[in-house]
Structure 1
């Protein structure tokens, strides 16, 4: 959590708590660069899940950053994973909200993640630039097929 707070000191890194009429709905943590908005973390209050808040948050980001690709990474759909059903539901949620899987993987110290975008195709250079900018260049990663 300390690294998230440290990175949020950069002007292009946004860390927002989201409320609806005073009720906490969730958080969004994302990074904006020239043509990419990388949503690193989206969480909806567990008591409000299934009520459209996640979709509304994504719509707000699309409205705020027209013309930019929104990019996320998700755990790969692996049948042997303990949270397989959760992974499938997450993929369906993002598909319903205009994201599609790319042929790229984000690999870091935590594993390999499937990359999704709202763009027609992933602007890989823009995504890599965004990852470097958000972490002061300290984040060790690879984006590859």
Structure 2
């Protein structure tokens, strides 16, 4: 059995923060990124984890997790581009499952769209998650103008109300009223 990756909390302005910052900018389109400063601040809260991933001492990537009841939502997951295709993505998913123990795990991926420039990438990404035990959660959303499909691993399906509550808890009471405007179900 391959060892899970080592997960290390990312603190603002730490060595891990700067490693994840560059990867974050390269792995996610600008419109899908939230301020890393805000993410770091929110990770000080209970049920939110901002984690750098290591294979022994080698930085591999990072994940950002939000927990609500028995659900872990992977908000961000990125593997260093020089290490993609070498099994680290699957190891990262295994490590997250170990870290969150018996929780169900869910994430959103960009929906397939034959008009999208990166549709081939979207298809490969979906195939990767399905190969790693994820299944369609039958919850499609439009968030900040982008269409997403939810995939989940383990346990019962994710309820819409559960997902909205998870997002509202992440957004804090000040921002949570905007969730109903930012997230639409297809």
- Name 1:33's counterpart in structure 2: 68
| 1:96 matched to 2:131 | yes
8 Å contact from structure 2 (residues 143, 184) kept in 1: no
Aligned pair count?
A: 145
Q: Which has the higher contact order (CA 8 A, sep 6+)?
A: 1
TM-score, normalised via structure 2 length: 0.71
Moved more, 23-32 or 99-108: 99-108
| 1:133 matched to 2:169 | yes
Moved more, 107-116 or 76-85: 107-116
Runs of 5+ unmatched residues, structure 1: none
Runs of 5+ unmatched residues, structure 2: 1-34
| 1:121 matched to 2:136 | no
User: How far did residue 126 of structure 1 move?
Assistant: 2.5
**How large is the Cα RMSD of the aligned pairs?**
1.7
State the secondary structure of the residue aligned to 1:136: helix
TM-score, normalised via structure 1 length: 0.89
Partner Cα separation in structure 1 for residue 129 and residue 73 of structure 2: 14
8 Å contact from structure 2 (residues 104, 153) kept in 1: yes
Of the three residues 25, 33, 42, the one matched with 1:7 is 42
8 Å contact from structure 1 (residues 10, 134) kept in 2: no
Q: Which of the two has higher C-alpha Rg? A: 2
User: How far did residue 143 of structure 1 move?
Assistant: 5.3
- Name 2:185's counterpart in structure 1: 144
Partner Cα separation in structure 1 for residue 48 and residue 85 of structure 2: 27
Between Structure 1 and Structure 2, the one with more helix by share is 2
Moved more, 131-140 or 39-48: 131-140
Between Structure 1 and Structure 2, the one with more strand by share is 1
User: How far did residue 100 of structure 1 move?
Assistant: 1.2
- Name 2:146's counterpart in structure 1: 111
